[in-house]
Structure 1
Amino acid sequence: MTEFDFIRRYLKQQNDADVVLGIGDDAAIVRPRSGFDLCFSSDMLLKNVHFFADVSPEDLAWKVLAVNISDMAAMGAVPRWALLSAGLPELEADWLQRFCDSLFALAQRFGVTLIGGDTTRGDLVFNVTIAGELPQGQGLQRHAAQAGDDIWVSGRIGLAAAALQCRLKKCELPPAVFAVCEQALLRPFPRVALGQAVLPFARAALDISDGLAQDLGHILQASGVGATVWLDALPTLPELKTLLPEAQWQACVLAGGDDYELVFTAPAEQRRAILEAAQRSNTPVSRIGIITETGRLKITRSADDDSEIQLTNTGFDHFDSI
């Protein structure tokens, strides 16, 4: 199979009235809707950094696209178009069919059209560039948090990190618990509906890819504020607190990463609106802390116990060992 056979056979054009010119030309042409701004993001995934070599093509395709859709969710955007570039060691028909079936199923689920990209021989590396639409002049941004805002997080965090720790033989989990955690690691679910639902009420937001403490720190730095986060308010799998040593489960929920849940801030007077938006989008949310004027992140046992938790690591950094 040649590169062009692969493109013709598997990367077929999807139906999208706003795609003027799709796969098969030097560049794609799309026509954004009037009254919307375009929102762009790009993410790269490498074997043995972002996924294990033995990952199934179905799970790999899901994650490759899902983490990019999650960036659109964090902005409150509607994901629309994606370009996929891939380095593949070989063009093996069965593997490609399974990968593409999963990719296109997820794309269809979120209304994303694949409009182009590139392929080359390589050792399993993927890059997706995604574009979405935002109502003109709107969008959740990192620099908008204000002192007094509530801090919210969607879903549950720490599960993917726990699965990774188990895969690396740094802990042991019962099979049933590991299965739940591995699902979170392999198939994060983009919170697109929640991002759009809270867009009128939230101020700052991002998705948790490198760890809650580190990613929330980006909001604090961009906004020039601080925060207090309550450890006992962080939503996670309850079994992790009993199965893992305290320091390890704390590290999973605070610094583990790979959650792809949303962390966002909103004025305290919008609590009811946030909860209603979460219900409409069928997404659980938890209020985990408050934005302060201190200029630093403080993690305490609870809202009532001011005992501070010290972290030795706040999250993942690709270059921290260099």
Structure 2
Amino acid sequence: MHSEFELIARYLAPAPATPDQGVTLGVGDDCALLATTPGERLAVSVDTSVADVHFPAGAPAAAIGHRALAVSLSDLAAMGARARWCLMSLTLPEADDAWVAAFAEGFHALCEATGVALAGGDVTRGELAVGVTVMGEVPPALALTRGGARPGDVLAVTGALGGGAGGLARWQAGRRDPGDPLLARYLTPRPRLAAGLALRDLATSAIDVSDGLLADLGHLRQASGLGAALDPERLPLAEGLVDALGEAGARRAALAGGDDYELLVTLPGERLEEARARLAGQSLALTAIGTITETPGVTGVETGGTTGWQHFSGDTP
């Protein structure tokens, strides 16, 4: 059985950082030393992913590695930050070389794809869980927050909704086809980092859709002190979602399913087409699904008391 240091050295330690990555001292010391960009603010977020709470314990190890990093990077995307560094802590029930190698492959691949440098971390023994801290940079005047929405702003969402919930339903039904678009949306979500950068000088507020559209819209409304009018007929549904869940089930998944990691943004109506044009270069849709109102609450949809995933609610994902 390998020690934590052997696992880190063999599978988790990244290649030496290049000068442009800003890691002046990385894996192997008590702390990492990072060179931040003058004039920009450091954006930091942390997420913990626990087996059979945030992902199935039996999911492919590479997907678990990808997903653990992706869900944290999604927070940087929502703030319009450029992703730079991450720290990762991995808790394992046993030292399984093949599993750790596949996990590391998924994690490192997303690091490379997003330009993120792994600057340090930890490996411990216990129930399977992954903690990822991400750090990015953003000019202070361009940082997107949840509290900037204004009455009359258009409410829009990137990509499509409901795929995370649809993929979870497929997994729970025993589907394991890696080519299934819903399973891919659930197991290997794509953080919308490029979209966040493209929209940060157009949007007035933003949040990533992790707990469900209604739940995350609630966070944005609360921070902005406003309400929203939704048009449920305009919700962009993930590929294959209606076939998997039916029309009513698909719309419920889009409203409250969670695990979509799209960006929910507000912006002036006159900037909507410009925003769409910017995202068209990324082959990413931006769909207007409602407006921000002065009246608190949400109109246009029946929630049925369900707004999305909440820990300690008594429910299971």
TM (norm. structure 2) is 0.93
Offset from partner CA, 1:175-195 (integer Å, 9 cap, x none) = 989921111000100111110
Partner of 1:281: 282
1:14-93 alignment runs, 5 A limit: 14=15, 15-17=17-19, 18-93=22-97
CA distance 1:178–1:247, change in 2 (3 Å): farther
Q: CA RMSD in A?
A: 2.0
Residue 106 of structure 2, aligned match among 79, 102, 121: 102
Secondary structure of the 2:75 match is helix
Deviations 1:262-303 (A, max 9, x none): 000001111121112212333211111100111111134xxx
Deviation for aligned residue 1:25: 0.8
* Alpha-carbon distance in structure 2 between the residues aligned to 1:243 and 1:8: 43
1:299-318, aligned counterparts within 5 Å? Answer: 299-300=300-301, 309-318=302-311
Q: Does 1:203 align with 2:201?
A: no
1:257 is matched with: 258
Question: 1:144-163 to 2 correspondence within 5 Å?
Answer: 144-163=148-167
Contact preservation (8 Å) 2:45, 2:133 = yes
Larger mean Cα displacement after TM superposition, 77-86 or 234-243:
234-243
Please say if 1:272 is aligned against 2:265: no
Q: Does residue 126 of structure 2 align to residue 125 of structure 1?
A: no
Moved more, 310-319 or 198-207: 310-319
Report the CA distance between 1:244 and its aligned residue: 2.9
1:167 corresponds to 2:174: no
Shift of 1:311: 2.9
For 1:26, give the aligned amino acid.
Answer: D
Confirm or deny: 8 A CA contact 1:13 1:22 kept in the other structure.
no
Distance 1:206 1:2, change over 3 A: same
Q: CA deviation at 1:239?
A: 4.5
Letter paired with 1:145 = A
Deviation at 1:238, TM superposition (A): 6.0
Provide the C-alpha distance between the structure 2 equivalents of 1:293 and 1:138, rounded to a whole number of angstroms: 24
Equivalent residue of 1:265, what SS? strand
Gaps of 5+ in 2: none
Distance 2:139 2:248 in 1: 43
Q: Residue 41 of structure 2 aligns to which amino acid in structure 1? A: D
The amino acid across from 1:86 in the alignment is L
What SS is found at the alignment partner of 1:137?
A: helix
Aligned to 1:304: none
Q: CA deviation at 1:136?
A: 3.2
Higher mean Cα deviation, 59-68 or 97-106? Answer: 97-106
Q: Distance in 2 between matches of 1:11 and 1:242?
A: 40
Quickly say closer, same or farther: Cα 1:13–1:245, change in 2 above 3 A.
Answer: closer
Is 1:12 aligned with 2:13? yes
Distance 1:47 1:232 in 2: 35
Equivalent position amino acid for 1:45 in 2: S
The number of aligned residues is 311
- Residue 320 of structure 1 aligns to which amino acid in structure 2? S
Residue aligned with 2:160, SS? coil
Equivalent-residue separation in structure 2 for 1:242 and 1:298 (angstroms): 27
Residues 266 and 21 (structure 1 numbering): CA distance in 2 closer, same or farther, change over 3 Å? same
Q: Counterpart in 2 of 1:115?
A: 119
> Contact 1:299 / 1:310 at 8 angstroms: preserved in 2?
no
What secondary structure does 1:117 align onto? strand
Contact between 2:182 and 2:241, CA under 8 Å: does it hold in 1?
no
Question: Per the alignment, in what secondary structure is the counterpart of residue 20 of structure 1?
Answer: strand
Whether the 8 Å CA contact 1:163–1:178 is kept in 2: the answer is no
Q: Tell me how far apart the structure 2 counterparts of residues 99 and 59 of structure 1 sit (CA, whole Å).
A: 7
